[in-house]
Amino acid sequence: MADGWSQGLDAEVGLGLKELFKDHLGPEILGDAQRFVPVDTGRLLKSLDAQVRDDGRLPVLEVGSFPDGDGAVAYAAATELGFHGEETVRAHTRLGHPVREHTRHANTPEQPYLRPALYQERDS
């Protein structure tokens, strides 16, 4: 990109990049991602957020799954991109019956929700 492109954007849009990301683009992409995400338990949906990281250079808009009280939502990327391979299933109880930890072959098709949200045409 040409030098000074962010200042040109500031002048054209009338807002700083941080404000553009925080007030307009972030909420719009987040809303679309929340609309497109497949819901089973609702944990992935609840983990979606938009944040602006500003280290003093150029601000960065981050939209995606962020850790919740139980930690990172490990299957967020597998949902978006699909997963084919071995996975470990932790020990748990299902319908009142104990299930031992085991390994299984997974063939999970992709269910994109972030990419379609990002690729939406925007007016702002």
Give 70-81 pLDDT, tens digit per residue. Answer: 999 999 999 999
% the chain with pLDDT above 90: 73
- pLDDT for res 21: 92
25 and 13 Cβ atoms separated by less than 8 Å: no
Query: Which has the higher per-residue pLDDT, 121 or 34?
Result: 34
Query: Which has the higher per-residue pLDDT, 21 or 57?
Result: 21
Q: How far is CA 106 from CA 26, 84, 114, in A?
A: 33, 5, 22
What pTM, to 2 d.p., does this model score?
Answer: 0.76
Model pLDDT for residues 21-47, shown as the tens digit of each residue: 999 999 999 999 999 999 999 999 999
What's the average model confidence in pLDDT over 83-104?
95
Rg of the chain over Cα atoms, rounded to whole angstroms, equals: 19
Measured CA angle at 74 (ends 27, 48), to 5 deg: 10
What's the average model confidence in pLDDT over 61-70?
94
Query: Which has the higher per-residue pLDDT, 54 or 11?
Result: 54
Q: Which residues pair with 48 in a beta bridge?
A: 65
- pLDDT for res 41: 93
